[in-house]
């Protein structure tokens, strides 16, 4: 296709759109240094036209339909469009602007219409149907792609007729725009609050490093004193250490009211509209609820299975959570708390009790968790398990000066992937941590196209006097996201539709949560955890304390996460649009897990981006589902040795390399030799197992 020509606003020279050219960069990485924001929209338009022509050519082919000329060719169609979308939407999450958000709103309906042009193309659907009905002899991966392609057509409305088909299109388009608006509002609310302190007495209890970071933030904004905000590296330590209870309450209320205030960023109506539209979409497809519709593409399969699974864990979790609360309340009374224990008290008193019971807390551990050392420790762990190596390079364009890039090679020295690392918060970045790809792994024209993987975090920044020193939670977050990265970097699939990006949501968290287990292993911590000033290795005493404290308040933590799965399932199990106040709906559902008083005028759903702006609708339970899998999987490593080469090779070949090329339970059983049960998770968490425990399947 002829590249689209743009004209500069400042000169008359013709300029080619870099997004529509072949990338003349190392490993065909995105040329971020050449892309202007004005390039995106015309590039999308040109690439959509190109991709549409490719799809039409497949649909109108006179050749007898075969797997290769239809299913495989369709899988490869729109490659340029996919490349542009991966660049744009990844940057819209980690380096956004009002201009990018506006482009997203305009482009999203076009992409939705393009998807409709595929899945509602009857000629194309009939070709896929003819292939499926002929029962061709295919490899396991080819069969998987054929079935997932067929399912994509069915889920995409291929069987709908007339008004139903048009309604499906309208709903899909509106949903795509609403999700973007939800995300935009959540970011604006997170960025819109600051706690500006000028009296040093208000800093009582806060460690020196946290104070220094807040002072630096104030200085950067031209203010005196200290600024705390709702970014996690600022918010979490404040809630954990600040003695001033009124300020903790102020911070908590600001955090819990994101998207639920009387302003232009309120998400309540958007939540209700999204869930109503999803219900309507499911009904068009013949399902009673959206959960019934969505779970056909999950390991769990049905809402009944999910709800049974949640309840199976909720019974022991809630009993332990009540015990946790009673213990903490008693401790807080001893510490002088006269009022009822509130949500803004939990982190504060929990941390003090943890110090008393285990003589350890985050600030004691931070000096041993320098970011650069943690990074090398994670890299060395991957090398020890899988033989892969990492080499930092400075020749690859990046989208922000803080981003680092690495060439990744396998045990034979062959190129495996490019890894981008983006560690620190900024106002243009969504909160949280995630793994994404600028290009996924697949085969094209007989060549194994290797992936471009990116990890985006919001870790503690360095200050004028200290390097970035991580909390233990940030270390486990690094391991978690790196597990996703390994899933992408080690992929050995042939098609986009069978790669890591297509893995079921309740299976894709297995590699990430599996990696978190190493944070509690002395053999790994010994390799890198050293004091950033003295070089002293983290002591055995500290490691023992970390392990002993690992299950501290695990009942409360488990119950809290289960509550997220409950509200997700509740929103997506409605049989009629929700008309009652959002907060009433939430409290009725989440009260099953509550051990603390509800907070007036606060909400959870209005900032629950995973299900309203991400891909986890009717799927958030998957974190717990995968936690069962990871605990069961790691128990085999514990039995054989956490660095056992044979066990690591089996996990790599059966899980990490296979993506969505086979049924996930088949892959898991091939690695583990059995279906998982909740036993390993309950044992690891220190929770009492129910008498009638069963497998997760």
The number of beta carbons lying within 10 Å of the beta carbon of residue 499 is: 24
Task: Tell me how far apart the alpha carbons of residues 75 and 69 are, in angstroms, rounded to a whole number.
Answer: 10
Take residue 204 and report the two structure tokens written for it: 């009582």
Which residue has 């986890």 as its token pair? 616
Is there a contact between 247 and 195 (Cβ–Cβ < 8 Å)? yes
Query: Mapped to the 3 state alphabet, what secondary structure does 338-393 carry?
Result: CCCCCHHHHHHHHHHHHHHHHCCCHHHHHHHCEHHHHHHHHHHHHHHHHCCEEEEE
Is residue 694 helix, strand or coil?
A: coil
Within 13 Å and on the Cβ side, how many CA atoms surround 137?
0
Q: What is the DSSP letter of 65?
A: P
CA distance 94 to 530: 31
Query: Counting beta carbons within 10 angstroms of the beta carbon of residue 262, is it exposed (0 to 12), middle (13 to 18) or buried (19 or more)?
Result: exposed
Catalytic residue among 481, 509, 521, 657: 481
Q: 608, 569 in Cβ contact below 8 A?
A: no
CA distances for 206 relative to 237, 241, 458, 507, 640, angstroms: 8, 5, 20, 39, 43
The question of whether 224 is a catalytic residue gets the answer: no
What is the SS3 assignment for 315?
helix
For 79, 324, 448, 634, the CA distances from 487, given in Å and listed in that order, are 21, 36, 16, 16
Contacts of residue 164, defined as CB under 8 A and 6 or more positions apart, other chains included, come to: 157, 284
Beta strand pairing call for 389-393 and 404-409: antiparallel
Extended strands (E) in 378-494: 389-393, 404-409, 415-422, 434-439, 442-444, 447-449, 452-456
User: Which residues are known catalytic residues?
Assistant: 481
């Amino acid at each position: 296709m002829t590249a689209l020509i743009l004209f500069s606003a400042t000169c008359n020279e013709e300029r080619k759109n870099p997004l529509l050219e072949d990338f003349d960069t190392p490993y065909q990485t995105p040329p971020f240094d050449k892309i202007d924001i004005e390039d995106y929209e015309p590039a999308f338009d040109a690439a959509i036209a190109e991709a549409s022509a490719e799809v039409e050519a497949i649909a109108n082919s006179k050749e007898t339909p075969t797997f290769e000329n239809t299913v495989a060719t369709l899988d490869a169609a729109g490659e340029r469009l996919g490349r542009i979308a991966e660049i744009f939407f990844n940057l819209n999450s980690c380096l956004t602007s009002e201009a990018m958000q506006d482009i997203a709103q305009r482009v999203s309906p076009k992409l939705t219409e393009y998807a409709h042009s595929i899945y509602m193309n009857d000629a194309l659907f009939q070709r896929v149907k003819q292939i499926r009905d002929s029962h061709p002899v295919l490899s396991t991966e080819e069969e998987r792609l054929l079935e997932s392609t067929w399912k994509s057509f069915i889920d995409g409305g291929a069987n709908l007729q007339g008004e139903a088909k048009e309604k499906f299109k309208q709903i899909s388009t509106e949903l795509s725009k609403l999700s973007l608006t939800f995300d935009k509002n959540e970011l604006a609310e997170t960025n819109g609050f600051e706690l500006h302190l000028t009296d040093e007495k208000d800093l009582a209890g806060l460690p020196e490093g946290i104070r220094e970071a807040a002072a630096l933030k104030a200085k950067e904004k031209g203010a005196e004193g200290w600024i705390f905000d709702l970014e996690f590296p600022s918010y979490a330590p404040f809630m954990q250490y600040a003695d001033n209870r009124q300020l903790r309450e102020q911070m908590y209320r600001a955090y819990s009211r994101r998207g639920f205030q009387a302003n232009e960023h309120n998400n309540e109506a958007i939540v209700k509209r999204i869930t109503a539209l999803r219900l309507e979409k499911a009904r068009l497809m013949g399902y009673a609820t959206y959960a019934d519709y969505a779970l056909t593409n999950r390991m769990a399969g049905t809402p009944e299975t999910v709800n049974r699974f949640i309840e199976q864990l909720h019974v022991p979790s809630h009993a332990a959570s009540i015990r946790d609360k009673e213990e903490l309340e008693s401790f807080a009374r001893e510490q002088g708390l006269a009022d009822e224990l509130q949500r803004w008290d939990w982190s504060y008193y929990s941390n003090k009790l943890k110090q008393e019971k285990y003589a350890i807390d985050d600030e004691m551990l931070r000096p041993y968790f320098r970011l650069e050392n943690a990074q090398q420790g994670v890299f060395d762990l991957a090398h020890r398990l899988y033989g892969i190596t990492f080499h930092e390079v400075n020749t690859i364009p990046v989208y922000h000066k803080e981003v680092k890039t690495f060439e990744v090679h396998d045990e034979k020295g062959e190129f495996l992937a490019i890894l981008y690392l983006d560690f620190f918060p900024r106002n243009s970045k969504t909160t949280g941590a995630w793994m994404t790809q600028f290009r996924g792994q697949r085969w094209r024209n007989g060549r194994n196209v290797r992936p471009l993987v990116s990890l985006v975090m919001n870790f503690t920044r360095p200050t004028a006097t200290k390097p970035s020193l991580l909390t233990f939670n940030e270390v486990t977050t690094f391991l978690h996201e790196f597990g996703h990265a390994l899933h992408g970097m080690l992929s050995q699939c042939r098609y986009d539709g069978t790669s890591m990006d297509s893995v079921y949501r309740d299976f894709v968290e297995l590699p990430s949560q599996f990696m978190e287990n190493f944070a509690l292993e002395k053999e790994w911590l010994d390799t890198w955890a050293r004091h950033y000033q003295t070089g002293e290795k983290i002591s055995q005493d500290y490691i023992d304390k970390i392990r002993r404290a690992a299950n501290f308040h695990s009942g409360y933590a488990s119950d809290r996460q289960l509550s997220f799965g409950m509200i997700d399932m509740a929103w997506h199990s409605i049989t009629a649009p929700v008309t009652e106040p959002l907060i009433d709906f939430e409290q009725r559902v989440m009260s099953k897990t509550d051990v603390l008083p509800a907070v007036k005028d606060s909400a959870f759903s209005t900032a629950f981006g995973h299900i309203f702006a991400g891909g986890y609708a009717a799927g958030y339970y998957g974190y717990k589902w995968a936690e069962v899998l990871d605990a069961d999987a790691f128990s085999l490593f514990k039995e054989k040795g956490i660095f056992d080469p044979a066990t690591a090779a089996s996990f790599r070949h059966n899980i990490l390399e296979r993506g969505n090329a086979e049924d996930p339970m088949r892959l898991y059983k091939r690695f583990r030799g059995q279906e998982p049960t909740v036993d390993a998770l309950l044992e690891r968490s220190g929770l009492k197992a129910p008498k009638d425990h069963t497998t997760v399947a």
